[in-house]
Amino acid sequence: MLRAEVKEHLKTDIIPFWQGMRDEEYGGFYGYLGYDLKLDKEAVKGCILNSRILWFFSNAYLRLGEKKLLEDAGHAFRFLKERCLDREYGGVYWSLTHKGEPEDITKHTYNQAFAIYALSSYYDASKDEESIKIAWELYRLVEEKCTDEYGYMEAFERDFRPAKNDKLSENGVMAEKTMNTLLHVFEAYTELYRVTGKACVADRLRYMLDLMADRVYNRKLGRQEVFFDRRWNTLLDLYSYGHDIEAAWLIDRGLEVLNDGAYAEKLGLITRTITENIYNRAYIGHSLVNEAENGVVDTTRVWWVQAEAVVGFLNGYQKMPQEKKYLEAAEDIWRYIKDRLIDKRQGSEWFSELDKDGNPAAKPIVEPWKCPYHNGRMCFEVMRRLEDAS
């Protein structure tokens, strides 16, 4: 039932909605649809948004095999290579004008990672050698320009001089390193390794797994820390429930692709502990609460957090089939998404967030961070995992 419903939602709701966001005049996809469902064709186009859309349509094609989906992915790929890339200094810009001209020319490791992630999937879907060539160029750039002796640096000016990390810092701190960026570099390299099998990428995956286990993970509290200084000293007592359940399954996925027994043993207990703690601490009222700062819980139900919870709990169940509560939680949260988070209005998709009573906030349906990445990936993962299990 879960797999069938998710697949139907993907095919009849999410895919058509994002196909409708294509900009045929200037390329790429429109960058903003308000809560009032008014499309702003002149809004900024985030490069992260475009990379995630490229990833989405590539994987939709790989999962469903419909040629139109590969053409949609090709549309996103052409915009990335022709507009998002900085031909002078290398790397991907932060954002572009609606016409595809550089708007925010700063660089961020997070942004480079999502381009690598998308290009790797597009290569798998299309076998276009140019896409994997660009992915390798970005990989080398990240390794040469975005690292220090402690890990991955994050924010840079256009020419890769270090800058303040305001784009990935929140909650009143300015972090030099974040769990979020490290996680998505890991995710990107997992996909790059999956499609190329290159040993150098496997080595960097192991390096990041060590960082996650030894620096990011708080063994005493059974959670990941979120914001850090340059040397991985934590800056804030913050529990990000969505990032933790997302990390649990993304790390497990990376371990599956890497196929290294020693690292599977080292990280496996951590991901099991994180999943159990999220179930006990954040799974409330058929959904996941958002976060807890200094012990104060934010009860907002954020769209992407619910999507990650479905996959994270399904992953927990598949690792521990005796724990039926995880499968029941995944199904329960899907019902919550279906009943409350999916916007039933014509021409919409998912609400951005709900309050604890299920009332939607008047936030955009599409903006630079609101895309088909989390809910689309939820669909792909549910389909893949339950298909493999059947």
> d(Cα 150, Cα 182) in Å, to the nearest integer?
12
Average pLDDT (3-32) is 98
Nearest to 385 by CA among 339, 327, 303: 327
> d(Cα 176, Cα 228) in Å, to the nearest integer?
6
**Residue 310 CA to chain centroid, in angstroms?**
14
Residue 2 has pLDDT above 70, yes or no: yes
User: How many domains does the chain contain in total?
Assistant: 1
The domain that holds 256 is classified in CATH as 1.50.10.10
Confidence (pLDDT) at 387 = 83
pTM of the model: 0.97
Full residue range of the structural domain in which residue 100 is found: 2-389
For the record, the structure tokens of 295 come out as 């012990």
Quick one: residue 174, left, alpha or beta (phi over 0 = left, psi -120 to 50 = alpha)?
beta
For residues 238 and 228, the answer to whether their CB atoms sit within 8 Å is: no
For the record, the structure tokens of 254 come out as 């990376």
pLDDT in tens, 277-334: 999 999 999 999 999 999 999 999 999 999 999 999 999 999 999 999 999 999 999 9
pLDDT in tens, 114-169: 999 999 999 999 999 999 999 999 999 999 999 999 999 999 999 999 999 999 99
Residue 228 has pLDDT above 70, yes or no: yes
Distance (Å) of CA 36 to CA 40, 186, 291: 11, 36, 27
pLDDT in tens, 278-287: 999 999 999 9
In the Cβ-directed half-sphere of 303, how many Cα atoms lie within 13 Å? 24
Residue 390 has pLDDT above 90, yes or no: no
